[in-house]
Amino acid sequence: MTRVAKKSKAGRSSAAVCVALTLCMLTACLLGPKYHPPKGSTPTAPNYKESTVNFQNAEGWKVASPQDSMLRGNWWEIFKDPELNALEEQVNVNNQNIKEYFEALMESRAIVREAHAQYWPTVTANPSWNRQKSSSNLTHSTQANTGQTSTLISFPVDVSWVPDLWGKIRNEVREAQYAAQVSAADLAGEQLTEQASLASYYFEIRGQDALKKILDETVTADQKALDVTSAAYQTGVGDYISVVEARATLEAVQSADINVGIARAQYEHAIAVLVGKVATDFSIPVRPELREPPSIPVGVPSELLQRRPDVAAAERTLAEANATIGIGYGAFFPALTLSAAGGFESSTFQKLFSWPSRFWSIGPSISQTIFNAGLYRAELNQYIATYNADLAFYRQTVLTAFQQVEDNLAAVRLYSQQTERQQAAVKDAEETLRLEMGRYETGIDPYVDVTTAQANLLNDQQTLATIQVEEMTSSVLLIEALGGGWDRSQLPTPSQLGAKPSKAETALQQ
């Protein structure tokens, strides 16, 4: 009898080991297509087309040498403007759009932890106390102890676990992780957008300040011209029409001088919103300054896809859709649930946790949908179509990224050349006005020729200021098109996404 008992125990142990190994093998199954990042989206050219056009003979802005280090971190510091640097730091902390995207990232990280929780059993406790008295008029009932009062104290614990036989939970975890990486890339993209908007508005304000200075100086010069024509008329040397023409020119410039304040105020208010401040309490000091953009390291085309947050977001969205397809395949297979319950029951508290008060039950269950009118097949087709749509969106995002780089490379280069030509035009207009004023003072030409020369000079000066602002803002847009100081290595890893928020991240949520 002893040998039989030992052999029976050994048989049960072997069976338990076989079951455990079988479960381990089944758990290793992962349904769905294996994800591979899309290929063939990166051009093979060694340089951007617009970075090498006519550079041997062109003057003005030059692209940085390919060996120069790429922009990293605070890209706006390349402009060497302390006031801009201070404003950009405020954007990173106080911008409400950035905070919204940050909270979306925190939400997606919480969803990752929710998905991870499915790997573990669910344990629930449901303690209860019940006292009841049955009816005494149950003489023909099968119920025992009729008319008696009873007490039942229960402390049950239920354990339920669904093993990941077909990789459904793993695909759900991967889907959540990829979605969180999309949120992280979206956050980086929003930060870059807000930072670039601020830099563009800032240079627009500097352009408006420079234009205001031009108009102020023109008003002063036109006032002197009006004084000269008025004095000549009063002494009988000049005619009244020259006075009227000089006054009309002055008043037109004064009107334009006032109008400049509208655009400046609007750009200033826009920057206030970007840095999270009320426009009423925010101002930027006047500083008429127009400068040439710095040389910007653009790198090579093959690096662009690693530097653009929107491209990274599109690629991670594609990976997320691929994981969803795996979830769709897992729906076709049965689900195994392992359940166990146990605890203590007693009529008195004194005996509740005694050994005879124990009870337990254990048993697995399998569920499988037999018929659902093709629901799972339709859902799988939906997931595949979503993946294909995301693939097309990714490729379109890549094409747009290269277009934006080439567009802004061309813009900065051509605006730089146009600035040089316009500066020469301003010098010629200044010389024309000087000569025409001399001809008027000697009585050779009427004053209307002087007003024409004044209008031409002012128009050339305004055009020059506009071109210089466009050149600076195009350089900002070029940096944005290149991804700023971001690169793909800054995306959080799956382990980082599954971790609880740090103290610094929690503080940002306050």
pLDDT computed for residue 486 by the predictor: 93
- Give the distance, in angstroms, between the CA of residue 304 and the centroid of all CA atoms in the same chain: 17
Question: Looking up tokens 């490729």, which residue turns up?
Answer: 395
H helices of 368-446, where?
A: 375-441
At residue 14, does pLDDT exceed 50? no
Give mean pLDDT, residues 311-318.
Answer: 95
Q: At what angle do helices 309-330 and 375-441 cross, to 10 degrees?
A: 170
List, in order, residues 6 or more apart from 261 with CB less than 8 Å away.
Answer: 212
Q: Among residues of the chain, what percentage have pLDDT more than 70?
A: 87
What is the rounded average pLDDT of the residues 265-293? 93
Residue positions counted in the chain: 510
The architecture in CATH of the region 31-116+166-332+375-508 reads: Up-down Bundle (1.20)
Model confidence pLDDT, tens digit, residues 357-413: 888 899 899 998 899 999 999 999 999 999 999 999 999 999 999 999 999 999 999
Beta carbons of 467 and 426 less than 8 angstroms apart? no
Closest residue by Cα to residue 288 from 426, 465, 84, 419: 465
Q: Provide the 8-state DSSP code for 488.
A: G
174: confidence class by pLDDT, cuts 50, 70, 90:
very high
Q: What is the 3-state secondary structure (H, E, C) of 291-343?
A: CCCCCCCCCCHHHHHHCCHHHHHHHHHHHHHHHHHHHHHHCCCCEEEEEEEEE
Instruction: Tell me how far apart the 2 most distant CA atoms of the chain are, in Å.
Output: 144
8 A C-beta contact, residue 150 and residue 275: no
> Tell me: the pLDDT tens digits for 99-140?
999 999 999 999 999 999 999 999 999 999 888 887 777 766
Confidence band of 98 (pLDDT split at 50, 70, 90)? very high
Distance CA 247, CA 249 (A): 5
C-alpha to C-alpha distances, 238 to 147, 207, 234, 443, 449, nearest whole angstrom: 129, 39, 8, 9, 15
Q: Which element (helix H / strand E) includes 241? A: helix 240-274
Would you kindly state where each structural domain of the chain is located, as residue ranges? 31-116+166-332+375-508
Identity at 225, one-letter amino acid code: A
Residues 48 and 406: their CA atoms lie apart, in Å, by: 7
Supply 19's token pair.
Answer: 């079951």
**Model-level pTM?**
0.85
